[in-house]
């Protein structure tokens, strides 16, 4: 067994009834692998990690790993995570969501979690579609593409999740793809280390639903698409607007420091106690 596989096995739940729910070729396993590698490298214990998810293919991710795991309602993962973190700030709370989960039904929770700056890590797996329910368009389905609920063509405009996170106030925002797996490890590691609300958007493929309807080929072809369309943020400055037109940037998009909620609330408690004893 390769070292990297051994590492993943260290964190899998062997009492869980496998096989998993994902299609062959799905990128979700790469995301889970990257998360495990980042957690392992940072040396967190299994007991201090809480992995929270919403609903959708991404929602099934925590069930396979041996942490404290919570599979919540659709779009609400960040709200549950907020409660966990505030009640037990010493826990490391990681939230995994899909594009529909985080920016449609959970869009409001997402921007407020970013604004509040609670010490959470949000991993958003963006496959441009609702995969589990059968390929309906999501807030990140690009204009002009097809989905089961856009059989002619999609006439809405897509969210840029990472930019949305930056604007909403997230202190750390990274974007990667499942093709760029090593970058992904680093981005997740950085987000985990960041004090405050960190977001990693991960571009992945749903060849079963999105790719098939839009003639983008199989998983390998779609990963090649990621390779060809991703531009490292460090290099984006050297490219013309024309060259960047159908590209997206990957890397660290924002890294800044703002007061962290849990630490601020500790100060509020202190102030409240002082006022009480006066």
Strand partners, 178: none
How many angstroms separate the CA atoms of 120 and 97, rounded?
Answer: 13
83 near another protein, judged by CB under 8 A: yes
84 near another protein, judged by CB under 8 A: yes
Q: Which of residues 8, 35, 50, 192 is near another protein by CB under 8 A? A: 50
How many angstroms separate the CA atoms of 12 and 134, rounded?
Answer: 28
| Contact in structure between 228 and 248 (CB atoms under 8 Å) | no
How many angstroms separate the CA atoms of 60 and 97, rounded?
Answer: 10
255 near another protein, judged by CB under 8 A: no
Tell me whether residue 67 or residue 179 sits nearer to another protein (CB atom).
Answer: 67
The string of DSSP codes covering 210-221 is IIHHTT--SHHH
How many angstroms separate the CA atoms of 261 and 196, rounded?
Answer: 8
Output the smallest distance, CB 63 to another protein, in A. Answer: 6
Piece in contact with another protein (CB under 8 A), picked from 144-152, 175-183, 190-198, 270-278: 270-278
Tell me whether residue 123 or residue 184 sits nearer to another protein (CB atom).
Answer: 123
Query: C-alpha 21: how far from its chain's center?
Result: 19
**What letter would DSSP give residue 126?**
E
How many angstroms separate the CA atoms of 188 and 256, rounded?
Answer: 16
Tell me whether residue 114 or residue 191 sits nearer to another protein (CB atom).
Answer: 114
x/- letters, 172..211, toward another protein (CB under 8 A):
----------------------------------------
Tell me whether residue 35 or residue 187 sits nearer to another protein (CB atom).
Answer: 35
Q: Which of residues 30, 31, 38, 72 is near another protein by CB under 8 A? A: 72
Give the CA-trace dihedral at 153, 74, 34, 255, to 10 degrees: 90
By rule CB under 8 A, what count of residues binds another protein? 45
Asked whether the bond before 19 is cis by omega within 30 degrees of 0, the reply is yes
Binders in 103-162 for another protein, by CB under 8 A: 108-109, 112
Binding site for another protein (CB under 8 A): 13, 15-17, 46-48, 50, 52, 62-63, 66-73, 76, 78-88, 90-91, 108-109, 112, 265, 268-269, 271-273, 275-277
């Amino acid at each position: 067994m390769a070292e990297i596989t051994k590492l993943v096995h260290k964190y899998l739940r062997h009492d869980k009834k496998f096989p998993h729910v994902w299609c062959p070729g799905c990128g979700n396993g790469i995301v889970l692998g990257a998360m495990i590698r980042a957690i392992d490298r940072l040396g967190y214990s299994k007991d201090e990690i809480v992995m929270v998810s919403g609903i959708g293919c991404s929602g099934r991710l925590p069930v396979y790993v041996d942490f404290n795991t919570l599979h919540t309602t659709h779009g609400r993962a960040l709200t549950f995570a907020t409660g966990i973190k505030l009640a037990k700030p010493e826990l490391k709370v990681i939230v995994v969501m899909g594009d529909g989960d985080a920016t449609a039904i959970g869009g409001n929770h997402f921007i407020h979690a970013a604004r509040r700056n609670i010490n959470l890590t949000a991993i958003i797996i963006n496959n441009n579609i609702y995969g589990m329910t059968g390929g309906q368009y999501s807030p990140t389905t690009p204009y002009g593409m097809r989905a089961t609920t856009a059989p002619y063509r999609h006439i809405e405009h897509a969210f840029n999740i990472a930019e949305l996170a930056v604007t909403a106030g997230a202190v750390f925002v990274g974007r990667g793809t499942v093709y760029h797996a090593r970058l992904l490890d680093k981005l997740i590691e950085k987000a985990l280390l960041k004090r405050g609300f960190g977001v990693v958007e991960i571009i992945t493929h749903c060849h079963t639903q999105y790719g098939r309807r839009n003639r983008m080929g199989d998983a390998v072809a779609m990963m090649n698409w990621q390779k060809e369309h991703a531009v490292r943020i460090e290099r984006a400055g050297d490219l013309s607007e024309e060259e960047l037109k159908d590209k997206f940037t990957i890397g660290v998009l924002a890294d800044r420091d703002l007061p962290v909620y849990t630490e601020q609330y500790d100060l509020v408690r202190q102030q409240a106690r002082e006022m009480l004893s006066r």
